[in-house]
Chains A and B, each alone.
Chain A
Amino acid sequence: MADKTKNKTENKTGNWALNKSRISQATGRLGAGLDTLRTWWDGAQVWQRYVVYLLLVVGALILPAPAIGSFMSPESDWTTILIHPIGTYVLLAMGLNVVVGQAGLLDLGYVAFFAIGGYSLAYFGTEYGWNFWATLVMGTMMTGVSGVILGAPTLRLRGDYLAIVTLGFGEIVRITASNTDEIGGARGITNIPHPPPIFGTEFALDPAPYYYLIVSVIVVVIIFAKRLEKSRVGRAWAAIREDEDAAELMGVPTFKFKLLAFATGAMIGGLAGTVWAGKVIFIEPNNFPFILSATILAAVVLGGQGNIPGVILGAFLIAWIPERLRFLAEYRILIFGAVLVLMMAVRPEGLLPSGRRRAELAEGTGGMGAMGAEVAGPTATDAAIPEARS
C-alpha cells in the first residue's frame, strides 16, 4: 500500500518534470524571439524605426475592428475592453514605470493618483460644470501636486520603508473618499460629464471615440516619457536607481529628481483617471482598491520595468488575459494567477526588459537599493596593504 502511493507520487513528479521541461522549452523560444526583436531594434535605422511606429499607430487604429474583437474578447464588447481595462492599464503602467522602472522607487499606492484624477473630473464636472478638457489639465496638475505632497515627506525613505508609506497613502485616499460626503462618500459621484464633441464626433454611448481619445493620450505620454528617459532627467533617474549616494556626489540633486519622478508618475496616473472617468459617468471609492496598485505593479514587472514597450505589453496582457479567460467563469482568476506565476518563473526580468534593468536584476540589486551597487575591486585591499607596509 505504502509502495503504491510512493509509485504514484514518483509518477506524478515525473510527469510534472516532463511538462515543466516542455513549458520551459516553449517559453525559452518565446524569450529568444523577444530578445532577437530587441537586438534588431537596437541596431535599426531611423527610417526603420519610423516604419515600425507607423505600423504600430495603424495597428492601434484598426485594433477595435470586430474581426479582431471576435477572437480577442468573444464574451464582451472588444472596444470597451480596449478602453478599460486595457487602455487605462497601459497608461497607469507607463506612469508607474517612471517611478518604479526608471527611478527605482517602489510605490504600492499608485492607484491613489488614478483616483485623484478621476475624482477631479467627477467633482469639478458635476459641481462646477467644468469642461472635460479644462478638468483634464486641472486634474493632471492636481495629481502632480499630490505626488509632490506625498513625495516631499516620504522620499527621504528608501526601499521597503517607502513601499509601506505609499501603500498607506493609497488606502488613505480611498478611505478619505468614502468618508467625505462632499465628494459623494461611499456612494460615489454619478453623472460625470462626457467630453464635449471634437470635430463633430460625439462622446456618448459609442465607445469608439473614447478609444481614439485614450490612444491619443497614450501616444502623447509615450513621446514625453521617451524624451524624458533619454534626457538628463532619465540619466539622473537611472543613476539614482543604481547608486543613490554616488549620484548625489556626482552633482545629481537626488531628492529633487525623486520628487520629479513621483510627480511625473502621478500626473500620468491622474491623466488616466480623468480620461477613464469621462467615459464611465459613475465612480465610487471601490473603484480604487489596493489590488489595482498591485496589478499595475505586476504589469510593469511582467512587461519589463524601465522599458516602455515592455511595460505596455505587460499592461496589455494583464488587462486582457482575464477578459479572454471569461469563458472559464470563476476559474479565470485562478488560471490568470497561474499564468502570472509561470511567466515570472521563466522570465523574471520581464517580457521586454531594458538592457540595463535586466543586468541590474541579474546582479541581484534589482535597482531597489542603492547600497547593492557597491562592488569592491578584485584586489583592492590585497594589493594595497603590503605596499603600505613596505
Chain B
Amino acid sequence: MTQQDTVQDTAASDGQALLEIDDLTMAFGGVVALKNATLTINTGEIFALIGPNGAGKTTVFNVVTGVYRPTSGQVRFAGGRIDGMKRFRVTKGGVARTFQNIRLFHNMSALENVMVGADAHHRTGAIGAALGLPWHHREERRGRELAREMLDYVGIGDRAGDVAKNLPYGDQRRLEIARALATDPKLLLLDEPAAGMNPAEKQSLQALIRKIRDSGRTVLLIEHDMGLVMHISDRVAVLDFGELIAEGLPHEVQNNARVIEAYLGAASDAS
C-alpha cells in the first residue's frame, strides 16, 4: 500500500490499445442494452466505466468476458478478436473479472478459491492427478504458493483457511480480486469493487487497485462511488441507456453537460 501517492505515468507511456470495443450492440429481444458502443482501453491505465443503474455497464463486462455473444460489433483484445469466444478461453487469454454480486465458491476455503483461479494455466489432467505424477505435484505446489501470494497481495493472507462465505463482506470482495489475479490477467475487470465497503475499506481498496495497475496490469472498473472513480481513474467513460455519452479525463467528464443530465435529470429550464 505504499504506492498510494506515487501517481505513475506508466499509463501514458504504454499507451497501446489493449482492449478495443468496436461498434458493439447487444440486444436482448427488443431491449437494447448496448447501442453502438466504441471504446478503447490502453495498456497500463485505470479506466472507469460509470453511468446510472441499468445503463449497460455490466453488459459490457459480460460481452468482453464471453458471457454474451454480441448482436453486432467486435471486441478485440491484444489484437485478437475475443467476442463470442468461450469464456474460459477469454480468461486464459488474459482477461479476468470480479462480479457485482459476489460469486465466490462459498463453501470452499479462501485458498481453494484462489487456487481455482491459478489452475487456469495448469495442464495436469485426470490421469496425471490419479497417478500422482511428479508434474502434478509440482503444479499443485506452485498453485498453492501463488494462491497464498495473491491472498497476501490483496491483504487477506491470514484468512487463507477460512471458508469463503464466513469472510467479512469487504474481504470477500478482496478474495474475488485475488482469485481473478491468480489467473494472471493482463486486463482486470472490476465490477463495483467498492460496493458495500466503508470509507476505510474504500481507501485501502483504492490503494490496492493502484498497486495492481502499477504491477503492469490494466484495470477496467465499474464503480458508483464517484469519489473513488475521480480519484484513481486515468480515463472515464459514461454510459446512459446503453449509449456512450462521454469519454475523457475525470474532470472533463465531471463537467460534461450530458453526464450531469444523465445523473441528475434534465433541468426544467435547460431549453
Q: Is B119 an interface residue (CB 8 A)?
A: yes
| Chain A 342-384 interface 0/1 with B at a Cβ cutoff of 8 Å (1 = within) | 0000000000000111011001000000000111111111011
Residues of A within 8 A of B224 (CB): 384-385, 387-388
Q: Is the CB of B108 within 8 A of A250?
A: no
What is the bound-complex CA distance between A390 and B179, given in angstroms? Answer: 32
A252: which B residues are within 8 A, CB to CB? 88, 116, 119-120
State the CA gap A124–B126 with chains docked (Å): 28
B242 to chain A, nearest CB (A): 17
The chain A residue sitting closest to B61, CB to CB, is A249
Q: Mark A110-126, 1 if CB is under 8 A from B, else 0.
A: 00000000000000000
Q: Which interface residue of B87, B104, B116 has the most chain A CB atoms within 10 A?
A: B116
Question: Quick one: closest B residue to A389, CB to CB?
Answer: B263
Residues of A within 8 A of B132 (CB): 227
Instruction: Report how far A381 CA is from B195 CA in the complex, Å.
Output: 7
Whether A239 pairs with B129 at a CB distance below 8 angstroms is no
Whose C-beta in chain B lies nearest to the C-beta of A362?
A: B107
Of all chain B residues, which has the CB nearest A384? B224
Contacts of B197 in A (CB 8 A): 383
Q: Is A271 an interface position by the 8 A CB rule?
A: no
B103 surroundings in chain A (CB, below 8 A): 243, 245-246, 373-374
Rounded to whole angstroms, the CA-CA distance of A387 and B53 in the bound complex is 12
Contact indicator per residue, chain B 76-101, by CB within 8 Å of chain A (1) or not (0)? 00000000001110011000110111
CB neighbours (8 Å) of A293 from chain B are: none
Contact B101 A380 (CB under 8 A): yes
Q: How many residues of B contact A (CB 8 A)?
A: 59
Q: Given A250-B91, A377-B101, does the pair A228, B116 have CB atoms closer than 8 Å?
A: no
How far, in whole Å, are A232 and B140 apart by their CA atoms in the complex? 7
- By beta carbon, the residue of chain B nearest A374 is B101
Q: Is A248 an interface residue (CB 8 A)?
A: yes
A43 to chain B, nearest CB (A): 13
* Cβ 8 A contact of A249, one of B65, B130, B263: B65
Count, A-B residue pairs, CB within 8 A? 157
User: Which positions 193-244 of chain A face chain B at CB distance < 8 Å?
Assistant: 224, 227-228, 231-236, 238-239, 242-243
In this complex, what residue of A is CB-closest to B93? A251
Inter-chain contact A235/B119, CB cutoff 8 Å: yes
Asked if A254 is at the interface of the complex by the 8 Å CB criterion, the answer is: yes
Is B88 within 8 A of A253, CB to CB? yes
Q: Assess whether B53 is in contact with A236, with CB atoms less than 8 Å apart.
A: no
CA distance A37 to B195 in the complex (A): 41
Structural contact, A242 and B105, CB atoms closer than 8 A: yes
Would you give the shortest CB distance from A188 to chain B, in whole angstroms?
A: 33
Inter-chain contacts of A231 with B (CB < 8 A)? 124, 129, 136, 140
A251-B120, A390-B226 given as contacts; is B100 within 8 A of A380 (CB)? Answer: yes
Q: Does A73 sit at the interface, judged by CB under 8 A? A: no
What sequence of 0s and 1s flags, for each residue 42-71 of chain B, a beta carbon within 8 Å of any chain A beta carbon? 000000000011000000000001110000
Tell whether A264 is near chain B: CB-to-CB under 8 Å: yes
A363 CB contacts on chain B under 8 angstroms:
106-107
B180 interface neighbour in A224, A235, A250, A359, Cβ under 8 Å: A250
Interface check A260, CB cutoff 8 A: yes
A373 to B106, CA, bound (A): 8
**Residue on A nearest B95 in the bound complex, by CB:** A249
Contacts of A233 in B (CB 8 A): 124-126, 129
Task: Verify B96–A387 contact, CB threshold 8 A.
Answer: no
Task: Say if the beta carbon of A247 comes within 8 Å of chain B.
Answer: yes
Chain A residues near B99: list those with CB within 8 A: 246
Asked if residues A388 and B91 are in contact (CB atoms below 8 Å), the reply is no
CB atoms of B196 and A377 under 8 A apart: yes
Chain B residues with Cβ under 8 A from A234's Cβ?
Answer: 129
- Closest Cβ of chain B: how far from A357's Cβ, in Å? 8
Q: Determine the distance from Cα of A232 to Cα of B66 in the docked complex, in whole angstroms.
A: 23
Given contacts A235-B116, A249-B65, A377-B196, contact A228 B124 (CB under 8 A): no
With contact pairs A385-B224, A388-B52 given, residues A238 and B108 touching in the complex (Cβ less than 8 Å): yes
Q: Residue B251 at the A interface, CB < 8 A?
A: no
| Contact residues, B106-137 vs A (CB, 8 A) | 106-108, 112, 115-117, 119-122, 124-126, 129-132, 136
Task: Find A232's partner among B67, B97, B107, B119 (CB 8 Å cutoff).
Answer: B119
Is there contact, CB below 8 Å, between A356 and B108? yes
Closest residue of A by beta carbon distance from B51: A388
Query: CA separation between A390 and B230, bound complex, in Å?
Result: 13
- 5 A-B pairs with the lowest CB-CB distances in the bound complex, closest first: A251-B120, A231-B129, A251-B91, A388-B224, A246-B103
Q: Which residues of chain A have a CB within 8 Å of any CB of chain B?
A: 224, 227-228, 231-236, 238-239, 242-243, 245-254, 260, 264, 355-357, 359-360, 363, 373-381, 383-385, 387-390
20 A–B contacts, CB within 8 A, in A order: A228-B129, A234-B129, A242-B106, A246-B103, A247-B116, A250-B96, A251-B92, A253-B86, A356-B163, A359-B165, A373-B103, A375-B102, A377-B195, A378-B169, A380-B196, A383-B196, A384-B192, A384-B195, A384-B196, A388-B53
List 12 additional A-B contacts (Cβ < 8 Å) besides A251-B121, A363-B106.
Answer: A227-B129, A232-B136, A249-B67, A249-B96, A252-B119, A252-B120, A373-B103, A376-B102, A377-B101, A377-B172, A381-B195, A383-B195
